[in-house]
Homo-oligomer: A and B are copies of this chain.
Amino acid sequence: MLEAAARVIARHGVRGLRVEELAAEAGVSTALIYYHFKNRQGILRATLDFINDRAERYTTDRVADASSLDARGELEQTLLLEFQDSPEVRENSTAWGELRASAVFEPELRKDLARATLVWVQDVAELLGKLHPVAGAGALAQAAERLTALVEGLSTRWLSGSLPLAHARTLMKEAIDAELVRLGNQR
């Protein structure tokens, strides 16, 4: 059911979600949807939670894999995670982009979003810190903010058809280079 919701949102966006379509996708009646979730808003909340969990799950898997990688590889893998053409990742990226875009008009969403963003930024800052232990916390945080914001920017370009996936990956890798060089120079 939540998988179905994620699929429908990935297809038409948060604001294009039709309860009826979701019901069809899940193979149940609309009434049942309302039995499980209080209302449209509830569907959205639950689905976004689900998507977050799923993202965390594959982030965790990633970290498990990464035991064999060096810090640089780990950093790249974290940031390139969103640039894969699997349905799951596409759904998550799409939903995240929608959440971000919706928050421009729906202040209620902002708090959760800001919190999730902060966690992500700190995660990346920490990885950067492993590569440049002597860099200041401020410089690390700023580099992490730029890199994660770039992920969002490139991701939306990719999903909106302005940028091929492979090219997005290249650009991202080189941005990481540029930031590491910069952190190095400040030493």
Contacts and interface: CB of A to CB of B under 8 A. Distances in A.
B156 A171 contact: no
Given A94-B104, A179-B178, A161 B114 contact: yes
A138 to B, nearest CB: 11
A133 interface: no
Contact of A150 (B15, B149, B159, B160): B149
Interface string A171-187: 10011011101100100
B160 A113 contact: yes
Interface residues of A, number: 46
Given A13-B104, A171-B146, A174-B142, A157 B117 contact: yes
A94 to B, nearest CB: 6
A51 to B, nearest CB: 15
Nearest to A117: B162
Contacts of A87: none
Nearest to A98: B101
Interface in A143-171: 145-146, 149-154, 156-157, 159-163, 170-171
Contacts of A104: 13, 94, 97-98, 156, 159-160
Contacts of A11: 105
A145 B169 CA distance: 12
A2 interface: no
A41 to B, nearest CB: 15
A42 interface: no
A136 interface: no
A18 interface: no
6 contacts: A100-B157, A145-B171, A146-B150, A149-B163, A153-B154, A178-B182
Given A104-B159, A178-B179, 8 more contacts: A13-B102, A15-B15, A15-B16, A98-B104, A104-B156, A107-B161, A152-B153, A153-B153
